[in-house]
A and B are shown apart, each in its own frame.
Chain A
């Protein structure tokens, strides 16, 4: 365009200068995105780095020595395993196992696990991260020979199926997160059961029924502010109300479900209700937004046919707001799953080996388990914490994926 007329060379437009400022902003936005991506990647890599790696294991008893008639331990039947167990532990311990659960009712895998824990009793003397395992393998071998001559080097996947399935233990080798996963699921289930109906109900009232007056504006402002209240304060509230004031009910004493001598209000029910309270404002706000997004023309169409307000809400507003309500609620709930502070205030157990059996059980949850493990001095627990973090992340991702699926499946056009 060399012969282009001077029409395209109007200096007063300052086109170049305007483009430069645009490019500057673009760069700033790109850097911002980059920082986010890098932070996330580092987070994931750190967790993965701790979840796999070499460990130096020392067995109290060499498993090979437990072979009977040339049959290795892991191929033995239940009877043989029981004999092996009886031969290697004290009679008192054997009797205790019998009391806990009669051996007649246990299966081979269960007996095998007892042998693993109490006979072979592998102890992890030292552990390394994935990075170290991959890049300083020689150094690891040297350390092993120098410091732990009797130990064996094993590559350990901390996030194993056993880890998900096993209960809490004071030995990191066999500790797992089953109790914590169940605790998380129970509390979150109660939180949803409480906050979803209440939250959607409040949203319907505020959006469809409430008049625009001073009182309702104050209520609305308060709900918006409650959504920003730090979670520890909800913990204090839960402690004061659910654990203390309504302890008779949250402990289950009032329902005759538990022994009044030992029960207290620090139960799954209290935790679930506290988390429910925590996400309630979020659910209300999200549901309100979803209801607000239903076009008014649909309401008018419904009223125009002689529908009552409730018929309009039930047949048109709620079905069309449902995807939004569900997405918002699931996102709110996934915030609750990661909450630690309020549950610590409520009094979640940090060490518990009994699976929760109902709303009146003592409990722990995944974040609390992670918190507890990270505070331990021994290195092996940090690997457990990393693996538990991955379990928690998988739970969160599953929830969010469900939210997206629900939204896409029920998305409507107006």
Chain B
């Protein structure tokens, strides 16, 4: 589905919680099959922007979105676009591992089934679990509850669940913040592998993580006009952002002077 230059492109994206503007003026181009990290201090709207990419913000009644988010060239906020279809193509992994309280097998099979998958389910489950580097640990206990796994395993199960519906993009909202360093490392390794097939956008608090895994980095921060609106301060390839940032505020943040 690479029929456009960018996997996701936003034009003047602005998001409001009621009357409060949380994010404004976001113009981003996300490259296909790359890992793009979104970093920034707490409360600057990183997660809000990420959730705008699969229209998850709409689950919160007060949120309204303005501007354009192009997914493979189509504006997903067009009136005739069903968010259900958007989310089927733009998968998501959440901050806290949230497997369904069902069997490991069913965790993966359910999403595929509702999306009309009619092929061999056993094969799909195995390939999704292999894709999430979890197969070796769980292949003999697929009927156990997904919630019986460790935190890191649960998060990989959530990744397996996401890739089982074969999305084009996987959004990751601080996927490692609830995990220990070893589990974090495994997820990061997994992201490298996944990037061959999927476009990955990850929100992270952890600047080392962004530096380690991402190809591109978007730095968000609050506007300096006192309105506390999150804005895209700088966007570019990760190496440049971390070694030679273009703006002082970026440099201050990545060197740990604020945030």
Contacts and interface: CB of A to CB of B under 8 A. Distances in A.
Interface of A: 211-212, 295, 297-308, 311, 315-316, 320, 412-414
A298 B100 contact: yes
B98 A308 contact: no
Nearest to B171: A304
A414 B91 contact: no
B92 A304 contact: yes
A414 B97 CA distance: 10
Contact of A212 (B61, B84, B85, B94): B61
B23 interface: no
Interface of B: 54, 56, 59, 61, 84-85, 87-89, 91-92, 94, 96, 98-101, 110-111, 114-115, 145, 147, 158, 161-162, 165
A306 B110 CA distance: 11
A305 B114 contact: yes
Contacts of B158: 301
A316 B162 CA distance: 16
B101 A304 contact: no
A304 B94 contact: yes
A212 B91 CA distance: 28
Contact of B114 (A295, A299, A306, A413): A306
A306 B98 contact: no
Nearest to A413: B147
For the complex of A and B, 4 pairs with smallest distance between CB atoms: A306-B88, A305-B111, A297-B98, A304-B92
A412 B148 CA distance: 11
Chain A CB within 10 A, most for which of B88, B111, B158: B111
Contacts of A308: 84, 114
A301 B84 contact: no
Nearest to A301: B98
Contacts of A302: 100
Given A306-B87, A414-B147, A298 B98 contact: yes
Contact of A301 (B88, B94, B145): B94
Contacts of A413: 101, 145, 147
B101 A303 contact: no
Contacts of A300: 56, 59, 92, 94, 98
| Chief secondary structure at chain A's binding surface | helix
Contact of B91 (A304, A316, A412): A304
Nearest to A320: B101
Given A212-B61, A315-B110, A304 B100 contact: no
B94 A412 contact: no
A163 to B, nearest CB: 47
Contact of A299 (B59, B89, B92, B111): B59
A298 B165 CA distance: 17
A264 to B, nearest CB: 49
Contacts of B111: 305-307
B115 A306 contact: yes
A224 to B, nearest CB: 21
Contacts of B96: 297
Contacts of B54: 304
Contact of A306 (B85, B100, B145, B147): B85
Contacts of B59: 299-300, 303
A55 to B, nearest CB: 58
A318 to B, nearest CB: 13
Nearest to A294: B101
B125 to A, nearest CB: 14
Given A307-B111, A320-B101, A211 B61 contact: yes
B104 to A, nearest CB: 14
Given A305-B110, A413-B145, 9 more contacts: A297-B98, A298-B101, A300-B92, A301-B158, A304-B56, A305-B91, A307-B114, A315-B114, A316-B100
